[in-house]
Amino acid sequence: MKKLLSILSIMTLSVMLFAQAPQSFSYQTVIRDASWNVLNTQSVGIKISILEDVSNGTVVYEEFHSATTSQIGLVNLSVGDGTVMTGVFNTIDWGDHSYFIEVAVDVTGGTNYTVMGTTQLRSVPYALYAETSGTPGTPGPQGIAGVDGIDGSQGIQGTTGLAGAVGATGADGNDGAQGIQGTTGLAGAVGTPGIDGTNGLDGADGVGIAQTLTISVDTLFISSGNYIILPSSTQKFLGDLYQGGIIFYVFQPGDPGFVLGQFHGLIAATSDQSTNCVWGCNQYSSGANGTAIGTGAQNTITILTCPSSSVIAADVCVNLTIAGYSDWFLPSKDELNLMYVNLHQNGLGGFASPTSNDFYWSSTEDGTYGAEVQDFSGGTQFGQHKSNVNYVRAVRAF
């Protein structure tokens, strides 16, 4: 039986609330097998579950669909119109709880479902809720008008200033000089303002009716319970060849380099740069101790400040140029693990065949004499002496 590897989904939900729950929303997905081939014109079984408050919360509604993929592996569903397994869709209280959608698939068309991931239905990171503007409620009664304040008395008008004398008329062609303007009379005093009346009481708020709630989602990539948001014009996948290498991670909110609405991440070279390279910097503490996503590039720069009489793993990466790209570096401990999980574990990237010593160097130092490696035959990470020889696979950010 073909094993389902991942689902590319485009989902648009439009929920209309008119004093009752929504009736359905659309769900569209492309289904591929473990070799990344589209499963076309194939019967599949899909189970949709709505969970309340948390990603592993109570299932408040569940349904299943039997569908046949198109020539491009596409399936279109209407969530809320499937065969109900449990719950009542139009009684879901969308306004007072958070909800998650769980997708499970059986690519043979049966009911032996594989859960592909759980995603929260919310405004971030997928899209923004439209502001609700309910039908106006019944206006409250008019508040009692305050008593008008007493007008101040009219000030006394000042006397009019004397007009200046008219200048003598000059000879024809030359105008006479203008007379001097009289002074302006004094302004009368301003009357005292009356006291403001008290404000009337506000009327009670009318009862409103909730109107339209709209949720929209860009392209959603789901793999082993993880997801990324891709603009619809990008259409790139984990494992795709791109900018000189193969994509193995897309930055998520909170990662260094994440930009909302843009597509950035990490690329691995398509082959090993070395199979027997030392880490170098032996007997020196370089300070290259970053472990997290986004620290590999700085680790690599820091390693190169150590004295070395031989070619080391960091040298191999920074001196690499592929397809015009020369910004390669040795991955940090966490970046190397993502390469192992997202590429090697799925048979991608052409890494060393499992043996007893297929260890890859990370750029994360482990003291004066050691640095972190990852065993690609079992996935464990541990420190090794810097003078040991291991595999090197360079990465770059895009």
Closest CA to 342 of 223, 253, 241: 223
pLDDT at residue number 385 = 96
Query: Taking the CB of residue 205, how many other CB atoms lie within 10 A of it?
Result: 10
Give the residue with greater pLDDT, 14 vs 382.
Answer: 382
Query: Where do we find the tokens 């389902």?
Result: 4
- Read off the pLDDT of residues 232-283 as tens digits, 9 standing for 90 and up: 444 677 899 999 999 999 999 999 989 988 889 999 999 999 999 999 998 8
Task: Give the predicted TM-score (pTM) of the model.
Answer: 0.45
Mean pLDDT of 361-375: 96
- The confidence score (pLDDT) of residue 119 equals 87
- The topology (CATH level 3) of 4-133+211-235 is Immunoglobulin-like (2.60.40)
Q: Tell me, what's the pLDDT at 116?
A: 83
Residue 182: predicted pLDDT: 58
Neighbouring-strand partners of residue 360: 374, 391
Average pLDDT value over all residues in the chain:
77
Least confident stretch, 29-38, 79-88, 123-132: 123-132
| pLDDT tens sequence across 170-228 | 566 676 577 576 566 565 565 566 566 566 555 454 433 222 222 233 434 434 444 44
**What is the tens place of the pLDDT at every residue in 101-113?**
998 999 898 999 9
pLDDT at 235: 60
pLDDT digits (tens, 9 = 90+) for 52-67: 999 899 999 999 999 9
The lowest-confidence range among 6-15, 289-298, 320-329 is 6-15
The most confident of the ranges 115-129, 133-147, 329-343 is 329-343
Name the residue with higher pLDDT: 327 or 147. Answer: 327
Q: Where in the chain is the domain with CATH 2.60.40?
A: 4-133+211-235
Residue 268 CA to chain centroid, in angstroms? 23
pLDDT digits (tens, 9 = 90+) for 347-358: 999 887 666 568
Residues 6+ apart with CB under 8 A from 398: 242, 243, 264, 265, 266, 267
Mean pLDDT value across residues 326-335: 98
Torsion of CA 235, 236, 237, 241, to 10 degrees: 150
